[in-house]
């Protein structure tokens, strides 16, 4: 057995953070956890992402051979950048458009470094609503995304839960096995995190087989100060906060 102790603040970090209108980002990502994508963008400026998200996305681009066909349009944004985008959208495009497509500062997934907006490389590229169709190279990206840990975050039909109009260009890194489970069940992140609460540390855990690997998952609500968990000593594991009130543990079986 090994003992894992988590402090309260760790609820606010990890690849399963839920950031939406109800749950603002509580803890900014550390600058050293961000790096530029090794890919030129439309304006020849660089797009930054959380380190692991960047690496996995580059691997996925290489796997599908997207070359310069797919353009990363927007990745990590600082609070200030989100404020500027929100203000200029309000001014130029109005309240209805902005409230449908631009998250208010502090409530944007782009501030986590785990979200990427992609466009098909075809002029002109719309910064706020990039064109990413469902066929061709974009279709190949979509078909492989979940097995690399990415989900289409704002799908049609989920507006009541996400609070965001469909955004077929916005992908969110959640990692494995989460993206595959979400894909198989048709869950948005809000639904998936609710589902995981049905598998508490103290009760029956979720066991899944994804990409030829077996995983065991469970949820643990954070204690006031320290949360103590006991795990079998030999299993690799990962823990992520949900940005609400608990932790999701993922064990590689």
- Mind telling me the catalytic residues? 167
116, 53 Cβ separation under 8 angstroms: yes
Instruction: State the number of binding residues for Zn ion (CB under 5 A).
Output: 2
Which of the ranges 35-43, 75-83, 85-93, 164-172 carries the binding residues for Zn ion, by CB under 5 A? 164-172
Alpha helix stretches (DSSP H) within the chain: 51-64, 79-93, 95-101, 136-145, 159-162, 178-185, 189-196
Nearest approach, Cβ of residue 103 and Zn ion (Å): 8
Both tokens of 33, joined, read 């956890």
| Chain Cα centroid distance, residue 68 | 23
Q: Which is nearer to Zn ion, 111 or 117 (by Cβ)? A: 117
Both tokens of 244, joined, read 């609400």
Q: Is 107 in the site for Zn ion (CB under 5 A)?
A: no
Q: Is 172 in the site for Zn ion (CB under 5 A)?
A: no
126, 42 Cβ separation under 8 angstroms: no
Nearest approach, Cβ of residue 116 and Zn ion (Å): 7
Q: What is the C-alpha to C-alpha distance for residues 99 and 163, in angstroms, rounded to an integer?
A: 9
Nearest approach, Cβ of residue 142 and Zn ion (Å): 15
Contacts (Cβ under 8 Å, ≥6 apart) of 18:
189, 190, 193, 242, 243, 244
Q: Is 50 in the site for Zn ion (CB under 5 A)?
A: no
Nearest approach, Cβ of residue 246 and Zn ion (Å): 26
Q: Which is nearer to Zn ion, 111 or 242 (by Cβ)? A: 111
Nearest approach, Cβ of residue 19 and Zn ion (Å): 11
Which of the ranges 48-56, 83-91, 111-119, 229-237 carries the binding residues for Zn ion, by CB under 5 A? 111-119
Closest CA to 15 of 149, 144, 145: 149
Q: What is the C-alpha to C-alpha distance for residues 94 and 230, in angstroms, rounded to an integer?
A: 52
Q: Is 220 in the site for Zn ion (CB under 5 A)?
A: no
Which of the ranges 90-98, 167-175, 191-199, 208-216 carries the binding residues for Zn ion, by CB under 5 A? 167-175
- x/- mask, Zn ion, residues 112-151, rule CB under 5 A, reads -----x----------------------------------
Q: Is the dihedral of CA 135, 136, 137, 142 positive or negative?
A: positive
4, 222 Cβ separation under 8 angstroms: no
Residue of closest CB approach to Zn ion? 170
Phi and psi, residue 12, nearest 5°: -100, 20
Task: Give the 3-state DSSP-derived string for 109-122, with helices as H, strands as E and coil as C.
Answer: HHHHCCEEEEEECC
Which of the ranges 12-20, 110-118, 127-135, 172-180 carries the binding residues for Zn ion, by CB under 5 A? 110-118
Q: Is 170 in the site for Zn ion (CB under 5 A)?
A: yes
Q: Is 216 in the site for Zn ion (CB under 5 A)?
A: no
Interaction site with Zn ion (CB under 5 A): 117, 170
């Amino acid at each position: 057995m090994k003992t894992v102790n988590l402090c309260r603040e760790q609820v606010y970090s990890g690849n399963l953070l839920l950031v939406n209108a109800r749950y603002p980002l509580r803890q900014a990502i550390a600058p050293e956890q961000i790096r530029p994508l090794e890919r030129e963008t439309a304006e020849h400026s660089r797009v930054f992402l959380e380190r692991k998200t960047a690496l996995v996305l580059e691997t996925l681009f290489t796997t599908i051979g997207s070359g310069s066909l797919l353009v990363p349009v927007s990745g990590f944004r600082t609070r200030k950048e989100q404020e500027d985008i929100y203000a200029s959208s309000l001014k130029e495009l109005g309240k209805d458009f902005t409230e449908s497509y631009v998250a208010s500062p502090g409530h944007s997934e782009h501030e986590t470094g785990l979200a990427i907006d992609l466009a098909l490389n075809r002029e002109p590229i719309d910064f706020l609503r990039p064109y990413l169709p469902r066929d061709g190279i974009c279709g190949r990206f979509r078909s492989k995304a979940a097995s690399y840990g990415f989900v289409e975050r704002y799908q049609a039909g989920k507006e009541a839960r996400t609070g965001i109009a469909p955004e077929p260009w916005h992908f969110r890194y959640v990692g494995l096995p989460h993206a595959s489970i979400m894909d198989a069940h048709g869950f948005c992140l809000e639904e998936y995190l609710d589902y995981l609460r049905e598998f508490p540390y103290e009760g029956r855990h979720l066991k899944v087989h994804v990409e030829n690997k077996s995983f065991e998952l469970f949820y643990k609500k954070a204690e006031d100060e320290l949360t103590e968990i006991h795990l079998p000593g030999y299993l690799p594991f990962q823990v992520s906060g949900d940005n609400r009130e608990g932790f999701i543990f993922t064990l590689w079986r």
